[in-house]
Each structure stands twice: as C-alpha cells, then as structure tokens.
Structure 1
Amino acid sequence: MSFPLLTATAALPAVGAVATAAVPAAKRTAAKWLALLFSLATLVLAAIVLARFEPGGDRYQLTESHSWIRAFGVRYELGVDGIAVVLLALTALLMPFIILAGWHDADPYETENRRWRPTQGFFALILAVEAMVILSFEATDVFLFYVLFEAMLIPMYFLIGGFGDRAARGSGTGGADGGEEAAAAQRSYAAVKFLLYNLVGGLIMLAAVIGLYVVAGNFSLTEIAHARASGSLHIATGTERWLFLGFFFAFAVKAPLWPVHTWLPNAMGESTAPVAVLITAVVDKVGTFAMLRFCLQLFPNASRWATPVILVLALISIVYGALLAVGQRDIKRLVAYASISHFGFIILGIFAMTSQGQSGATLYMVNHGISTAALMLVAGFLISRRGSRLIADYGGVQKVAPVLAGTFLVGGLATLSLPGLAPFISEFLVLVGTFTRYPVIGIIATFGIVLAALYTLVLYQRTMTGPVKAEVSAMPDLKARELLVVAPLIALLIFLGVYPKPLTNIVNPAVHHTMSDVQKKDPKPEVEAAQ
C-alpha cells in the first residue's frame, strides 16, 4: 500500500492544531513556534504533492479510497487534479506567512481587569482551518466534501468573533471611537453574519446532496461523473437544474457572489489582517473551486442552462464591488470590496465555458490569493502602527517608512493587474476567454479594470503621499519579521507575472477535462485568413 500523501498533507496541520492548543498557557511563544513549524512541514508535504503530480497523467492522481459509512455508500475518497493541486499548494504556501504576520495579534491584553486573547487558541484555529481547506480540495466524495465545507465555518467563526481587529473603525461604534465593548459587539455581529449566511447556503446544499444520492445511489464524484458521461445515469432535466441550484447557491455564498456577498466586508473589516487573508485568499477559494469540480462535472446540462444568469451576476459583482471600493473610507473594507470584484472575474472565467476563461479563472484564484495576501498583510502592518483603519488618518507615510510604502504599492499594483505582475495574465485570459463567446459581457467587464486602477491609486495617494501627518511622523518602517512575510509574496508576484508557465502547464490539462464534461469547445476565430 502506497503512502497516503494526501491524507498526511491534511492531517499534519490538524495534528498541529491539537498540539498547539495543548501547549501550557504560559508558553505562548512556544505555541507560536510550534504552529509555524507545523505550517512549514505542511508546506513541504504540499511541495511533494505538487512535485509528484503529473500534468499529462490521469485526471485524478494520488488517489485514496476507503469505506466510511457503508450503509449509505459514503467513502473517504481523495484525489487531486491540476486545479486542486495548485490551490492546495497556495493554501500551504500562505499559512506560514499568515502565522508570522499574526505573531502578536493574539497576545493577551488587559481590558476591564480581564485577560483576553488566548494565543494558543488563535494559532490552533488557523491550523484547523488549513487542515479542512486542504482536505476539501482533495475530497472526491460529495458527502465528505460537504462535511468539510460546513465544518470549516466553526473555527472561522471564532477567529472573526474572538480575535477581531482592535483598530479604530471610524464609524463611531468601536475601537477608539466607541470603546472595547462596542467593538466586541461589531466583531460578534460580523462573525454571526458570516456563520448564518454560510450555514443557510450549506443547508440548501445538504438538500441537494441528499437529492443527488437519491438519483445516483452514491456520493462518489468520479463514479457519478463517469456514469453520466457513459449514459448509464440519466437525471431528469428539472431535477438536474434544482440540484445544480442547490450546490451553486452554497458555493456562491462562499465565493462570494453578488447578491449573497454582504457578509464579506463585515467579516474582513472586523478581523485582524491575517484572518482577513485567511478568509478571502484561502477559505473563499473553496467556493469557486467547487463550482469547477462539482457544478460543471456533476450537472453539465444545468451548468450550460444557468450560464447566462451567472454571467450577469458575475458582471454585477465586478462593477458593483469596484464601485463600492472606490467610495470606501476604511482600508480593509476597500480590500474586501475589491475582492468581491475579483471573485466576479473568477466566476466570469469559469462560466464563459472557454479553455482560456477557465485557465484564467484558476490562475486568478492563485494569483488573487498571493496579491491580496501581500496587500492586506502590509495594510495590517500599517494599521497596527497607527491604530486606525481610516484612510483619512494617514498621509506622507512613504517619507517616514519608504519600504512599507513600496511594498504597499506593489501589492496595490498587483491588485489592479498591472502587466508584469501575476494577476495580469489571469485577468487577461479571463477577458480573452469571455470576449470570444460573450463579447458584450467582456467589454463591460473591462470597466472593472479602470475602477481597480482608480481605487488602488487613490488609496495609495491618500495614505502614502502628501504632507506627513503628525500621527505618522514617528512611524517605524517594516521590521525583519514583517519583511520576511512580504518579500517572498512580492517575489512570487513578479516571478509568476513574468513566467506563468509552471502553473499553466499543470492547470491546462484539468481545464480540458472540465470543458469535455460540459461538452463545450472553444469558438473558432471569425476572422478569415488573408488569401
């Protein structure tokens, strides 16, 4: 029996979560180092998975299958394709940076004679989320995926509500403006909203999972997809559409897609910067990944039927998210609305039903994770120095902290998809793939690029340039630990922006399989060759 590499990759952070939580209360520094070591060990295993994956080989590789609940045909079934393996690598890559960036975010502090923020719990919850996300990328049993899809909500709820941001919000309801009690109420509201939105989506998906079992007789993604492709399993048109909608709604909430997106600005705004990165760069990718793996593969006919409406929703997300980002006064909420716009591009690429669009969407998931991590973590370092999330409270930072300002600029330029940085090729492929089949939607979507340049450059101008405000005149520049977090992310943005081939070689074969699932081919060019 071969070594269960996929299980080990997910089990290692789970063991790390338990070990970190068990560290004695007085050994906070030891807990941090233990969590970091487990995240680095997980990264090593993820690198081995990536190295052993053969892009030209079988669709699902490194597979594992064991009986779990025999009476209902539930199996512990794992396997990765090219899309899953790059997202697994992204998750493992970001975790050490998230832990390093949040090194002091859970240190205890006194408030009304009460000690707050157990450090061990904070890092244990982060590792628990990593384990569930990795396993969800590996799961090829629909029931197993559903369990993980819902279970990851619990540690995220506590990370948002129990370890939220203490910086001033500017709304008069928390931080320095309204006191710790009001700030705690805002964090609690954001955590409950996150949980309720995703639970509702999950309950609707549960009904669809049960319906799928009724018509298919098992939960195995590979068996159901093969039976559908061979014609041995037929699902009535109406039934397939309802099942598709049940799955898609849950994934749209997680993604998030307009109009079920409103939990994200609250959750990211009230979280610490590392937890905000965990939400949008890691957890939310499960939603868009699941659209590719489950919606298109299990329900190809319904996916084609729903495409026009989904494209319109994605287009609204692109423009709406960007417009609201332009008007934000809060740095973290600006990044949240920008992410809503970016997820619109990802979903647009998925449902454009072209190989360029889906390859671009997958690359966008990876590159958005890296660019948002870079921008949000630098923003977190900035906010921790000033103690405020308000854009208006900053000015002239580049004169007193030039390295911080420079890294903030690179993160921002990556967010607006500047050529030469990784997100550019992703956005370019999504737009090319959309233009070839839906030219009007592609043209309108480009408006989001213009708005991205506006909100990013205005943010930089207002915070980093101009006269030095008295409150930031003594602001220190990035320290060694902070540079260790940011520098590799920026280096990766530049490398993948110049040379994306390592990713495209892995992703493209998986995209071709997905295109075959939905029985779509790329449109032929309409321009005739010159005689």
Structure 2
Amino acid sequence: MTFGQFLLVAVLAVPALGAVAVAATPADRAARLIATVTAALTLLAALPLAAGDRGWFAWSANGPAVRPWHQLDLPWVSGLELRFHLGVDGISYPLVVLTALLTLLCCAYSLYRVPAGGSGRALVALLLVIEVGILGTFLALDLVLFFLFFEVVLLPMYAVIAGWGGEDRRRAARKFVLYTLLGSVLLLVGVYVVVAAAGTADIVALTGGGGLSRNTQLFAFTLLALAFAVKSPLWPLHSWLPDAHTQAPTVGSVVLAGVLLKMGTYGLIRVAVGVAPEGARWAAPVLGALAVAAILVGALVCLAQTELKRLIAYSSVGHMGFVLLGIATLTSTGLQAALIGNVAHGVITGLLFFLAGAVKDRTQTGALAELSGLRETAPRLAGLLGFAAIASLGLPGLAGFWGEAFAVIAAIEVGGPLWTTLGVLAAVGGALTAAYFLRLLRRVTHGRPSPAVGRLAPTLAGGELTAWTPLVLLTLAVGLAPTLVLGVAEAPVNALVEVLR
C-alpha cells in the first residue's frame, strides 16, 4: 500500500473509529475531547493528499481520461462485481479538506458549548459519523460506493436536528428526511440505469460517457440532476433548507451549510455531468435558467426575511444558484467558478452560522427587529458579523467574490442571447445580494440597542474565537490568493472538459 492509499483509508477510518471511541466513553467532556482530537487527526491525514503523483491524464485508446492523484481499488463484493474504489484529485481535494476543517471546528466548539436537548457525547459522535459519510462521498470512485456514502449522512443529520434543534425541530427534521429520501430514490434509480447499461460502476471509466447511448445519458442525467438538486438544494427543490437551518443547533447548521450541501453540487459535477455529458449539454439551458431563478428568488426572499438564521439559510439558495450557473456553462471557467464558489460558501456561511448562533444564544431571539444596536454593546461580535456579511455579498478581495464573478463571466463567454441574458440577470442578483446583507447589518448592528442586545457582554469566549478564527483567515486567504483553490483544480477541470467534448 502506497502512502497516498494509506491516507485515503485513514481519512475514513480515523473518524469512524473515533465515533466508536466517543460512544464508548462514559464521561461527556472526555468524549468531546476525544472527538476533537479525532477530527484534528482526520484533518492532518487529509492535508497531505495533495502531495505525490499530480498527473492529470491517463491515455487510453479513446484519448485522455481523468486520473486521480491517489486511488485505492480493491475487490469488495465479487459476486456483484462491486469494488471499494477511492480516489482524490483537485476537484474533490478542497472539499475533503473543508469537511475535515469544519468538523474539527464544530467538535472544538462543542468543548465550549453543548446545545440543549441531549448529551455532548452523542452530538459529537454523530458529527463524526456525518464526516465519514461526507468524506466518503467526495472520495468514492465507484457509483454504488458513492451512493452508500451519500446515504450515510441522512439519519445522523436527522438526529442532530431532531435532538438538539429548536422548538419546531422535529417537523424540520422530518421535512429534511422526506426531501432527502426523494433525492435518494432518484439517485438509486439513476445509478442502476448507468451501471446496467455500462456494465461497470467505475466513475473513472464512465467519465465522458463510458459508451452509454444518447437516450440513456439523457434519462440518467435527468434522474441524477434531480437527486443532486434536492441535496444542494437548488430552486425549486429547496424548501426543506430554511426550516432545517432555522431549527438546527449551531454546529448542525455549520455542517449542513458548509459541506453537506456540497455533496449535491459535487455529485452534479463528478457524476451527473461526468458520466452523462450528452445529457448535461442537452439540459444546460434549463439548468442555467433555474440557476438564475434561484439567484433572483433567493435574493428577493432574503429582502423580506425578519429572522437572522432564516435569512442566512435563504442566502444559500442564491449562492448555490451561482454554483449551478457555473456548472451549467460546461466550460472550464464555469466549473472553476463552481468549485471555488463551493469552498467560499462553505467557509463564509459556516462563519455566518457560528455568529448567528452566538447572537441567538446571547439574546434568546433571532428576530431582526429585536437585535438592533449590536455594535454598541458587543462591537467585536458586530465587527465579525459585518466581515462575514460583506464576504458573503461578494466584496472583491474576499472569498465570496470569485465564484460569483466568474460564474457571470462564464455565462457571458458562452454567448448568444440566452446565456448573455442569464449572465446579466445573475449580475443583478449579485447586486440584490449586497442589498439584503447591507439591510441585515443596518437592522442588527446599527441603531439604538434593543432590550435583548442591551444585556450583552462585550467579550467573546475563547472557544468561540478558536472556532471562528480559521474561517476568518481562510476567507481572507482565498479572497486574496484564489489559486489556493483554482491552482489545484485547474488541470483536472481542463481534463474533465476535454473528455466531455
């Protein structure tokens, strides 16, 4: 076994074994500490995956094909010809690191605060199980294995929302499960269609079409795109998201927005577009129109929101719209925009939900009308909220700018009346994004302190700063040096575009 293969196994085995160790530890705080150490070890195992063989093409009789940096391919269920096939490249690597980082920050945050509703031990054990499912989804190079990891996340996330969420948590958790199960059924049928027609579940072999007929690709892409649209979630299949975010505990919202949604957009790129390129080209105009609709609808709904976490949740609909617009162009620029948009959204929205949770924990309310004057009583908290908001609205120099800007540029580059119009409307949606975030800051940070805000202490806890500081630094780093993401993704994206032609 090579060092890269060892790391692939370790990235999944460490959090899985950590979850077992946490569940077996009777002392609550000790269990939370073990989970934090486990998450840190997972991150340390994920970071070196970028080292080693950085080849991008594997030449075959049919021309270039996408090749992972590292891969592990072992027999799994011989009778069904299923294989335990893992791999990583520049498309999945940033999301693997982001998942490991956010899980570590959530576990570290649990040392400072455990939400009401259950033990901290159970909460962090569930977070580690969720991490296994998300990381497995990003690393799987077998369609059946991809589906299984995709499903691992469902019940633990339901338990986090239902066990530690707000007053209406059970209804929100049920809604999350029902929508996600719908997506799961569509994904299962889509995987069956592809595997039955191609005779293989190997994603590397299937990338570029894998010999599938045009009609099979159209049908498979429709099923897969709908499945991933539910998970992302993309408009109009998004209605589970605001309720889940509003009711979930802080760490649940961070994981949900930061990386769980990315399972859908990653699957759309890696599986739906990669395996069924003819279906992607056929559906591209529809995907582009739906993306712009999501951007505009999300922004308009945010302008009418009166609850802090709900506003941030609906902002994700618009941001995921920019990601979908980039994917729909099927160009190198657009796919790069989608990938950096994924990472930026995970970092910035994770920070926003941490801050929203801190505000709600201190004031016992999320109503914008009851949160005025935050900068007068808690200037540090108000400053961080302002920083995260302007990063999310796409200010140049911060991480949120690149994905939105290049998604618009990619649409304009495709050209023609439709794509030019979509690019212009997406730019208008970006302006509306700035409008609702500035409205948020005016309502929350300015004015006379409301009674709820007037009781706040000006200090921030060490546990909070520990969880928030890496996200602030990453927002700056990716904004000022986007090559941190684009540099590792450029060559595999170009390879993917090449085999899709």
What are the within-5 Å matches in structure 2 for residues 97-246 of structure 1?
A: 97-103=105-111, 105-106=113-114, 116-165=117-166, 183=167, 186-225=168-207, 228=209, 233=211, 235-246=212-223
Match of 2:84 in 1: 76
Report 1:54-69 matches (<5 A).
54=54, 59-69=67-77
**How many Å separate the matches in 2 of 1:105 and 1:479?**
10
1:298 aligns with 2:306: no
Give, in angstroms, the shift of residue 107 of structure 1: 5.6
Question: How far, CA to CA, are the matches of 1:367 and 1:343 in structure 2?
Answer: 11
Report the Cα offset of residue 237 of structure 1: 2.4
Distance 1:80 1:329 in 2: 42
**Counterpart in the other structure of 1:506:** 488
Q: Which amino acid aligns with 1:122?
A: L
Tell me which residue corresponds to 1:48: 48
1:487 Cα deviation after fit: 1.9
Task: State the structure with more CA Rg.
Answer: 1
The one-letter code sitting in structure 2 at the alignment partner of 1:268 is H
State the Cα distance separating 1:52 from its structure 2 match: 3.8
Of 378, 390, 412 in structure 1, the residue corresponding to residue 355 of structure 2 is: 378
- Structure 2 residue identity aligned to 1:434: A
Q: Distance in 2 between matches of 1:107 and 1:256?
A: 26
Q: CA deviation at 1:104?
A: 5.2
Find the counterpart in structure 1 of residue 63 from structure 2. Answer: none
CA distance in 1, matches of 2:100, 2:10: 13
Residue 426 of structure 1 corresponds to 403
| Amino acid of the structure 1 residue aligned with 2:452 | E
Is the Cα–Cα contact under 8 Å of residues 172 and 243 in structure 2 kept in the other structure? yes
* Preserved CA contact (<8 Å) 1:129 1:156: yes
| Aligned CA distance change for structure 1 residues 331 and 501 (closer, same or farther; 3 Å) | same
Equivalent pairs counted in the alignment come to: 486
- CA 1:53–1:495 in 2, change beyond 3 Å: closer, same or farther? farther
CA distance in 2, matches of 1:57, 1:244: 24
Q: Cα offset for 1:55? A: 6.6
Instruction: Determine if contact 2:55/2:69 at 8 Å carries over to the other structure.
Output: no
1:441 counterpart residue number: 422
Q: Residue type matched to 2:422 in 1?
A: I
Alignment partners' CA distance in 1, 2:396 and 2:235: 27
Q: Secondary structure at the match of 2:92?
A: helix
What residue in structure 2 maps to residue 89 of structure 1? 97
Distance between the aligned counterparts of 2:359 and 2:48, measured in 1?
35
5+ long unaligned stretches in structure 1: 109-115, 166-182, 520-531
Deviations 1:294-320 (A, max 9, x none): 111110111100111111111111111
User: RMSD across aligned C-alpha pairs, in angstroms?
Assistant: 1.5
Q: Would you say 1:19 and 2:21 are equivalent positions?
A: yes
| Structure 2 letter corresponding to 1:209 | V
Residue of 335, 338, 344 corresponding to 2:312: 335
Residue 371 of structure 1, CA deviation: 0.6
2:56–2:68 CA contact under 8 A, matched in 1: no
Q: Which residue is equivalent to 1:454?
A: 435
For residues 53 and 371 of structure 1, what CA distance do their matches in structure 2 show? 31
Tell me by how many angstroms 1:56 deviates. 5.4
Whole-angstrom CA distance in 1 between matches of 2:214 and 2:403: 34
Q: What SS does structure 2 have at the residue aligned with 1:83?
A: coil
Change (3 A) 1:501 1:350: same
> What percentage of residue pairs aligned between the two structures are identical?
34
Deviation at 1:474, TM superposition (A): 2.6
Deviation (angstroms), 1:57:
6.9
Matched residue SS, 1:417: coil
Deviation at 1:53?
6.0
CA distance in 1, matches of 2:128, 2:57: 31
Distance in 2 between residues matched to 1:273 and 1:53, nearest whole Å: 38
Amino acid at match of 1:441: L
Gaps of 5+ in 2: 59-66
Give the secondary-structure state (helix, strand or coil) at the position aligned to 2:87.
strand
Q: Which amino acid aligns with 1:471?
A: A
Aligned to 2:11: 9
1:440-491 deviation digits (Å, cap 9, x = unpaired): 1000001111111111111111111111223222312312211122222112
- Whether contact under 8 Å (2:345, 2:400) holds in the other structure is yes
Question: TM-score scaled to structure 1, two decimals?
Answer: 0.89
1:14 alignment partner AA = A
Counterpart for residue 64 of structure 2? none
